[in-house]
């Protein structure tokens, strides 16, 4: 572990990337239990992931990082396109309209640039809250704009941007201190367990939140005062995300903490494995029994762990090496 890394955040990132994989695995099958798991995971995992990204935002070399994310996005889209062709599936390569997992990389590229542009504003204690508040209101209104949708992932980018900016102006040290509070941990665990139970017991009701959690398209036409639903999600995402931070172990846990520093490679590779199993109809083997459904979730966790191994660091590592590269200072000849 490098000196600059804090175990809390790597532990949390590993938990979140496992939830990302599980969320994608359960999302391909129509099942009540899967729907409940999906809503529970999506109620906080992406807002929290993007919040953490904002928490570690750096202006130095922002353009290289944005280009790296853009490069991963393009490669991700190309790989999915080729995979579909291999399995004789209908495939259309459209880099401008983003629906599946690659959207996150495109949005992150935008966030790197937006964060650089707004970093001075976010240093002001008054201006930062005005900007975040205005963006939340704009996002709630933007849900009525059908032209946003999947084009350049603008709908999701606008929706999750306030979480990124909130991360930029949050004191990491204070959060790390709160995460060590045992009483807060117990309280957070109870609240999250209660929320999970609600998702399981009231599946039909909570599953109506799905379009608002994904934020990939405009509001459904049959939902009255949809902007209030989105506003409520900002509140729930904020609180559930905080509870997850508090609940996460603050000490290094081998090898979990190390795996948490490799989430990008898991994000890149897991979707290809999922598509391959789906197109090969391997996923159907697990849907015949309740034990099989549970096995499908366990398989998702195992895949997340396997993809955290060092051998899977390419090709994403090549892009991030470019993002981390710095120009060497010129040597001056004293003669």
Is residue 2 assigned to a domain?
no
Domain-located, residue 239: yes
Residue 5: the pLDDT is: 84
Residue 334 lies in a domain: no
Beta strand segments in 37-103, E: none
Note whether 70 and 105 are within 8 A (CB). yes
Residues of the chain with pLDDT below 70 are 1-3, 327-335
237-270: burial string, b at 16+ Cβ within 10 Å, e else = bbebbbbbbbbbbbebeeebbbbbebbbbbbbbb
What domain count does the chain have?
1
Whether residue 332 is contained in a domain is answered as no
- Between CA 169 and CA 119 the distance in angstroms is 9
Letter string b/e over residues 128-152, b meaning 16 or more CB atoms within 10 A of that residue's CB: beebbeebbeebbebbeeeebbbeb
Write out pLDDT tens, residues 212-258: 888 888 888 888 888 999 999 999 999 999 999 999 999 999 999 99
Residue 56 located in a structural domain? yes
End-to-end CA distance of the chain: 42
| DSSP secondary structure of 19-36 | HHHHHHHHTTS--HHHHH
For residue range 162-196, list pLDDT tens digits in order: 999 999 999 999 999 999 999 999 999 999 999 99
Range of the domain at 38: 7-323
């Amino acid at each position: 572990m490098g000196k600059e890394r804090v175990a809390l955040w790597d532990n949390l990132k590993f938990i979140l990337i496992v939830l990302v994989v599980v969320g994608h695995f359960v999302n391909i099958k129509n099942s009540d239990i899967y729907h409940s798991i999906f809503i529970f995971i999506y109620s906080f995992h992406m807002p929290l992931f993007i919040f953490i990204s904002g928490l570690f935002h750096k202006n130095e070399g922002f353009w290289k990082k944005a280009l790296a994310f853009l490069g991963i996005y393009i490669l991700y889209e190309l790989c999915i396109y080729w995979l579909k062709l291999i399995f004789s599936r209908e495939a259309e390569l459209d880099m401008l309209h983003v629906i599946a997992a690659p959207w996150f990389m495109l949005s992150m590229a935008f966030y790197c640039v937006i964060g650089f542009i707004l970093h001075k504003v976010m240093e002001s204690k008054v201006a930062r809250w005005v900007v975040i508040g205005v963006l939340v209101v704009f996002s709630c209104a933007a849900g009525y704009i059908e032209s946003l949708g999947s084009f350049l992932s603008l709908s999701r980018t606008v929706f999750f941007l306030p979480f990124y900016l909130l991360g930029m102006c949050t004191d990491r040290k204070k959060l790390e201190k709160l995460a060590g509070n045992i009483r807060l941990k117990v309280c957070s665990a109870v609240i999250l367990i209660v929320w999970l139970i609600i998702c399981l017991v009231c599946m039909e009701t909570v599953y109506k939140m799905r379009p608002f959690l994904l934020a990939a398209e405009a509001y459904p036409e049959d939902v009255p005062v949809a902007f209030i639903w989105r506003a409520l999600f900002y509140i729930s995402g904020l609180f559930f995300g905080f509870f997850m931070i508090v609940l996460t172990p603050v000490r290094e846990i081998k090898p979990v903490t190390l795996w948490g520093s490799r989430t990008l490679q898991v994000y890149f590779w897991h979707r290809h494995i999922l598509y391959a199993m789906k197109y090969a109809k391997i996923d159907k083997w697990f849907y015949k029994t309740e034990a099989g459904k549970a096995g499908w979730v366990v398989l998702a966790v195992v895949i997340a762990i396997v993809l955290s191994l060092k051998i899977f660091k390419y090709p994403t590592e090549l892009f991030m090496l470019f993002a981390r590269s710095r120009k060497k200072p010129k040597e001056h000849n004293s003669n």
